[in-house]
């Protein structure tokens, strides 16, 4: 039983083994033998996200896992039951893994201190979203390997090593758990990560990665460009003067996309604010993996569940 | 009143004047009657053998949350003062952020009544503004007449500069202390941990140092034109120390305090996302901690105050964003501080540092809240309030305790606490 709270829980070879397992699932069209049948997972989404929750639940069903769904609004937590009591209840049901999403950074980590069950982070505050980062790697590698129809110009000798590649994450880095996880994951595989956004939305004290405020000065160097979803309330919060100013300086507009290398790729963690961080037509650009990215969600999460639950079975 | 007169024999004596050897005699009325070597013992006197132990004035905590009334599941005046006594404190200043707040004379009477059962002295702080809302001033004169020693909206800073100016003006006339919880809400709101590399790497919303420093600078600017006693509570940043150094060098008279946790714990601990490390002001970076230590040793920072802020277990098991702020340390403050300054190894003690640290727990905080300045708390005629501690014995903190200090142990165990001549802690155990 293993936790997956943040990308830092994984070393490079563990990242690659999860990613390669996901690739096997894609190749086999999600058909699995020797499954995890008999185990049960519960999705505890204190912050609602139908898309991510269903992706995990589908992944679990493909592995013949039992699935329980916890919803904060209908549970006794609204009657004052504490987080810890809720976890204890699921422990008593005999579930094997908790898939947790919460608006507050750190809750999956806290829960992991209270229980021996596997805890899988499905996104917590601005902290971490490891499954998203791993599926981005799966999508990126598929493109590198020329496995995606119509996207083939990017060829590399070694899809296990990203050294020499520049990954640009663009937009509201400060509030983004996706940015934190993607930056970590790609750099663990050797990539050079550059965080780009308005100065008010860059975590300037965090000195692990290069930070750039002028997107146009660096965009032509990127091998992968990832615009982040911009929460529309950032404008009213004074972080940016206006959404149109943000689009003008940091949006992947049709004009700006012209500056991106022909061999580069565009990933968006979704859901998109079309016309803000990405123009409507850009997802149709031949370099954009946006549609493919959605399809790798389930196989990647299958591989994560196997990674976290597998040892149970080996011990039997 | 004590049954028998006391003589404490054979210990080392430490206060703001230095470290030495002396016996101390205390009358049944609770006052020090003799302070000299080799006091002769009469048969009616009770003798406390303090050989190998250190005797200091009882500690004075300027910043204690006793939680009563309003949250007696977390703490009561009785339970909080017992913890304080076990830590060598003989006086605590009860903060007014109770529920309801201490903001009127009837609340002062209520706290006084509850404090009759306290084992040590409880001084009372009143809010500056009604319900601590930062709007209308409390009736400062009536509260001062009742012996309230401090005014603070602690838990909140007074945001409105004009209200703060008026509070300083009013307090100046009355000669009472106005103390400030330094926090600029427009900057700090939403923040949960020190703004810095650690919070940004973890994605925890940050509280910038400027939240504290802007209010401190503002208050000192206001103070220039007001003849008031001003006290900056729980300072935590190197920038605050810098502001204080400049202002004090220019002759502005005011005082400030630092907590044991801002001297001892740094913000890397929030990596565990455990709300036991959630406190306001937040744990800061190592540079800030080093500056707090320097400021304390140099005397720029006057006092150590615990900001003892207990919460129930349930409250501290919430998410990091929902859990309340606060660390409690009354019973272990001495050990934490001695360890911080390397004063916990008996053979290697730097006497100068030791004297300064004890001064910051005793004479200086006492003088901040006293009407008349006392030069020595260990002299004939002074109150028989003493802390007697050992540097050979460790105080162990239970592992299960909901505290950053759980599972640690500290040299500097309090063996006796004597309050008004009464032995309230004996052999490290409460006499209650
Ligand atoms: Zn405070």
pLDDT digit string, tens, across residues B325-373: 999 999 999 999 999 999 998 888 899 999 999 999 999 999 999 988 8
Residues 152-211 of B with CB under 8 A from A: 195-197, 199-206
Is the separation of the CB atoms in A8 and A184 below 8 Å? yes
Q: Tell me the shortest Cα–Cα distance from A285 to chain B, in angstroms.
A: 32
Return d(Cα B234, Cα B223) in angstroms, integer: 18
**What pLDDT is stored for residue A76 in this prediction?**
60
Is the separation of the CB atoms in B165 and B226 below 8 Å? yes
Quick check: A126 and B273 CB within 8 A? no
Whether chain A has a CB inside 8 Å of the CB on B406: the answer is no
Q: From A183, which residue of chain B is nearest by alpha-carbon distance?
A: B201
Whether chain A has a CB inside 8 Å of the CB on B320: the answer is yes
Q: From A46, which residue of chain B is nearest by alpha-carbon distance?
A: B319
Is the separation of the CB atoms in B223 and B366 below 8 Å? no
Whether chain A has a CB inside 8 Å of the CB on B313: the answer is no
Is the separation of the CB atoms in A300 and A258 below 8 Å? no
Residue-wise pLDDT for B279-329, tens only, equals 999 999 999 999 999 999 999 999 999 999 999 888 888 999 999 999 999
For residue B60, the cross-strand partners are B91
CA of A247 to the centre of ligand 1 (A): 42
Chains A & B: contacts with CB separation below 8 Å: 65
Q: Residue A233 — very low, low, confident or very high, per pLDDT cuts 50/70/90? A: confident
Q: From B322, which residue of chain A is nearest by alpha-carbon distance?
A: A104
Average pLDDT over residues B215-219: 98
pTM of the model: 0.94
- Chain A partners within 8 Å of B208 (Cβ): none
- In sequence order, the 6+-apart residues with CB closer than 8 A to the CB of B8 are B23, B24, B25, B26, B47, B48, B50, B55, B386, B388, B416, B418
Is the separation of the CB atoms in A37 and A64 below 8 Å? yes
Q: From B199, which residue of chain A is nearest by alpha-carbon distance?
A: A206
Return d(Cα A175, Cα A169) in angstroms, integer: 13
For residue A121, the cross-strand partners are A100
**What pLDDT is stored for residue A314 in this prediction?**
41
Average pLDDT, chain A: 90
**What pLDDT is stored for residue A154 in this prediction?**
60
Quick check: B274 and A174 CB within 8 A? no
Is the separation of the CB atoms in A87 and A115 below 8 Å? yes
Q: Residue A80 — very low, low, confident or very high, per pLDDT cuts 50/70/90? A: low
Q: Tell me the shortest Cα–Cα distance from A40 to chain B, in angstroms.
A: 25
**What pLDDT is stored for residue B416 in this prediction?**
98
Domains along the sequence of chain B with CATH: 6-55+381-430 (2.30.40.10), 58-369 (3.20.20.140)
* Candidate from A153-162, B79-88, B216-225 with smallest mean pLDDT: A153-162
Specify whether B307 is catalytic.
yes
For residue A148, pLDDT beyond 80: no
More confident residue, A101 or A35: A101
Instruction: Determine phi and psi for B229, rounding to 5 degrees.
Output: -90, 120
- Chain A partners within 8 Å of B197 (Cβ): 205-207
Could you give the 3-state DSSP secondary structure of residue B132?
Answer: helix
Q: Which of B23, B165, B288, B307 is catalytic?
A: B307
- Using CB atoms, pick whichever of B196, B314, B319 lies closest to residue A106: B319
Domains along the sequence of chain A with CATH: 7-128+296-308 (3.40.50.1370), 152-288 (3.40.50.1370)
**CA nearest neighbour of B192 among B69, B277, B107:** B277
**What pLDDT is stored for residue B43 in this prediction?**
83
Whether chain A has a CB inside 8 Å of the CB on B393: the answer is no
Angle between helices A12-27 and A130-144 (to 10 degrees): 70
- Using CB atoms, pick whichever of A83, A177, A205 lies closest to residue B200: A205
For residue B428, pLDDT beyond 80: yes
pLDDT > 90 in chain A, percent: 73
Return d(Cα A36, Cα A87) in angstroms, integer: 22
Q: Tell me the shortest Cα–Cα distance from B185 to chain A, in angstroms.
A: 15
**What pLDDT is stored for residue A312 in this prediction?**
41
Position of tokens 């758990």? A177
Looking at residue B138, the DSSP 8-state letter turns out to be: P
Return the beta strands (E) in chain A as ranges.
40-45, 66-71, 97-102, 118-124, 166-170, 192-196, 210-212, 224-227, 265-266
Is the separation of the CB atoms in A121 and A6 below 8 Å? yes
Q: Tell me the shortest Cα–Cα distance from A159 to chain B, in angstroms.
A: 27
Whether chain A has a CB inside 8 Å of the CB on B286: the answer is no
Could you give the 3-state DSSP secondary structure of residue B248?
Answer: helix
Q: Given its phi and psi angles, is residue B342 left (phi above 0), alpha (psi -120 to 50 degrees) or beta?
A: left
3-state secondary structure B55-118: EEECEEEEEECCCCCCCCCCCCHHHHHHHHHHCCEEEEEECCCCCCCCCCHHHHHHHHHHHHHC
Average pLDDT over residues B168-183: 95
- Using CB atoms, pick whichever of A83, A126, A176 lies closest to residue B319: A83
Could you give the 3-state DSSP secondary structure of residue B404?
Answer: coil
Return d(Cα B99, Cα B392) in angstroms, integer: 41
For residue B379, pLDDT beyond 60: yes
Looking at residue B29, the DSSP 8-state letter turns out to be: T
Residue A276 CB burial class (10 angstroms; 0-12, 13-18, ≥19): buried
pLDDT > 90 in chain B, percent: 91
* Candidate from A14-28, A212-226, A301-315, B214-228 with smallest mean pLDDT: A301-315
CA atoms within 13 A on the CB side of B75: 25
Return d(Cα A308, Cα B302) in angstroms, integer: 53
- Using CB atoms, pick whichever of A104, A109, A205 lies closest to residue B321: A104
Quick check: B205 and A110 CB within 8 A? no
- Chain B partners within 8 Å of A72 (Cβ): none
- Using CB atoms, pick whichever of B197, B203, B274 lies closest to residue A105: B203
CB burial string B82-99: b at 16+ within 10 A, e below: bbbbbbbbbbbbbbbbbe
Residue-wise pLDDT for B14-64, tens only, equals 999 999 999 999 999 999 999 999 888 888 889 999 999 999 999 999 999
Q: Residue B1 — very low, low, confident or very high, per pLDDT cuts 50/70/90? A: very low
CA of B292 to the centre of ligand 1 (A): 17
Q: From B275, which residue of chain A is nearest by alpha-carbon distance?
A: A110
Quick check: B273 and A110 CB within 8 A? yes
**CA nearest neighbour of B38 among B6, B5, B10, B4:** B10
Residue-wise pLDDT for B131-144, tens only, equals 999 999 999 999 99
- Using CB atoms, pick whichever of B201, B204, B319 lies closest to residue A102: B319
Average pLDDT over residues A114-118: 95
Is the separation of the CB atoms in A216 and A189 below 8 Å? no
Q: What element of type H or E holds A222? A: none
Q: Tokens in use for A106?
A: 């750190």
Is the separation of the CB atoms in A42 and A71 below 8 Å? no
Average pLDDT over residues B212-231: 97
Whether chain A has a CB inside 8 Å of the CB on B112: the answer is no
Is the separation of the CB atoms in B337 and B306 below 8 Å? no
Angle between helices A177-188 and A130-144 (to 10 degrees): 50
Q: From A107, which residue of chain B is nearest by alpha-carbon distance?
A: B319
Q: Tell me the shortest Cα–Cα distance from B314 to chain A, in angstroms.
A: 8
**CA nearest neighbour of B193 among B206, B209, B212:** B206
Looking at residue B319, the DSSP 8-state letter turns out to be: -
**What pLDDT is stored for residue B3 in this prediction?**
62
Residues whose Cβ atom is located within 5 A of ion ligand 1: B 154, 181
**ipTM for the assembly:** 0.92
Average pLDDT, chain B: 95
Q: Tokens in use for B303?
A: 């006092």
- Chain A partners within 8 Å of B314 (Cβ): 82
For residue B390, pLDDT beyond 70: yes
């Amino acid at each position: 039983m293993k936790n997956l709270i943040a990308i830092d829980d994984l070393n490079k070879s563990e990242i690659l083994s999860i990613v390669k397992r996901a690739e096997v699932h894609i190749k086999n069209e999600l058909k699995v033998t020797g499954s995890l049948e008999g185990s049960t997972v519960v999705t505890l989404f204190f912050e609602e996200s139908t898309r991510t929750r269903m992706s995990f639940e589908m992944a679990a069903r493909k592995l013949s896992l039992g699935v329980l769904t916890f919803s904060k609004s209908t549970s006794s937590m609204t009657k004052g039951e504490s987080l810890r009591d809720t976890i204890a209840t699921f422990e008593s049901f005999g579930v094997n893994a908790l898939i947790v999403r919460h608006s507050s950074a750190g809750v999956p980590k806290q829960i992991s201190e209270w229980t021996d069950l596997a805890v899988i982070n499905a996104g917590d505050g601005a902290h971490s979203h490891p499954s998203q980062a791993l599926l981005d790697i799966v999508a990126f590698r598929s493109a590198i390997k020329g496995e995606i129809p119509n996207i083939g110009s990017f060829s590399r000798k070694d899809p296990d090593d990203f050294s020499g590649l520049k990954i640009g994450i663009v937009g509201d880095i400060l509030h983004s758990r996706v940015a934190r996880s993607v930056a970590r994951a790609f750099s663990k595989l050797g990539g050079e990560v550059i965080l780009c956004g308005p100065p008010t939305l860059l975590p300037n004290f965090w000195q692990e990665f290069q930070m750039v405020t002028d997107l146009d000065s660096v965009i032509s160097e990127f091998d992968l460009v990832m615009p982040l979803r911009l929460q529309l309330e950032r404008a009213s919060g004074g972080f940016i003067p206006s959404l149109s100013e943000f689009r003008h300086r940091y949006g992947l507009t049709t004009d700006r996309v012209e500056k991106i290398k022909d061999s580069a790729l565009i990933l968006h963690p979704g859901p998109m604010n079309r016309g803000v961080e990405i123009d409507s037509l850009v997802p149709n650009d031949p370099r954009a993996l946006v549609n493919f990215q959605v399809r790798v969600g389930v196989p990647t999460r299958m591989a994560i569940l196997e990674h976290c639950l597998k040892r149970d079975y080996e011990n039997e | 009143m004590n049954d028998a007169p006391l003589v404490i024999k054979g210990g080392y004596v430490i206060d703001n004047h230095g470290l030495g050897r002396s016996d101390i005699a205390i009358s049944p009325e609770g006052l020090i009657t003799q302070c000299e070597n080799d006091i002769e013992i009469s048969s009616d006197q009770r003798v406390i053998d303090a050989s190998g132990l250190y005797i200091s004035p009882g500690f004075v905590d300027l910043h204690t949350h006793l939680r009563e009334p309003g949250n007696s599941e977390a703490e009561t005046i009785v339970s909080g003062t017992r913890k304080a006594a076990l830590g060598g404190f003989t006086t605590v200043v009860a903060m007014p952020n109770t529920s309801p707040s201490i903001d009127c004379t009837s609340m002062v009477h209520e706290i006084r009544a509850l404090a009759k059962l306290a084992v040590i002295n409880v001084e009372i702080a009143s809010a500056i503004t009604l319900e601590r809302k930062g709007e209308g001033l409390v009736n400062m004169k009536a509260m001062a007449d009742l012996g309230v020693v401090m005014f603070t909206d602690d838990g909140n800073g007074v945001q409105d500069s004009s209200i703060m100016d008026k509070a300083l003006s009013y307090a100046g006339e009355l000669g009472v202390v106005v103390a400030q919880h330094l926090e600029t809400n427009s900057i700090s709101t939403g923040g949960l941990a020190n703004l810095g590399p650690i919070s940004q790497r973890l994605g925890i919303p940050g509280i910038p140092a400027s939240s504290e420093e802007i209010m401190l600078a503002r208050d000192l600017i206001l103070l220039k034109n007001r003849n008031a006693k001003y006290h900056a509570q729980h300072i935590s940043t190197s920038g605050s120390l810098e502001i204080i150094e400049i202002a004090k060098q220019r002759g502005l008279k005011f005082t400030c305090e630092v907590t044991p946790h801002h001297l001892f714990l740094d913000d890397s601990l929030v990596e565990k996302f455990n709300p036991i490390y959630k406190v306001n002001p937040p744990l800061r970076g190592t540079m800030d901690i080093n500056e707090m230590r320097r400021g304390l040793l140099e005397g720029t920072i006057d006092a150590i105050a615990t900001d003892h802020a207990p919460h129930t277990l349930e409250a501290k098991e919430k998410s990091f964003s929902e859990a309340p702020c606060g660390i409690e340390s009354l019973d272990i403050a001495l050990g934490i501080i001695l360890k911080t300054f390397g004063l916990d190894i008996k053979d290697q003690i730097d006497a100068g540092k030791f004297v300064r640290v004890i001064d910051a727990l005793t004479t200086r905080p006492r003088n901040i809240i006293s009407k008349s300045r006392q030069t020595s708390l260990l002299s004939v005629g002074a109150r028989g309030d003493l802390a007697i501690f050992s540097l050979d014995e460790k105080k162990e903190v239970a592992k299960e305790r909901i505290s950053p200090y759980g599972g640690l142990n500290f040299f500097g165990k309090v063996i006796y606490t004597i309050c008004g001549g009464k032995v309230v802690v004996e052999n490290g155990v409460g006499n209650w």
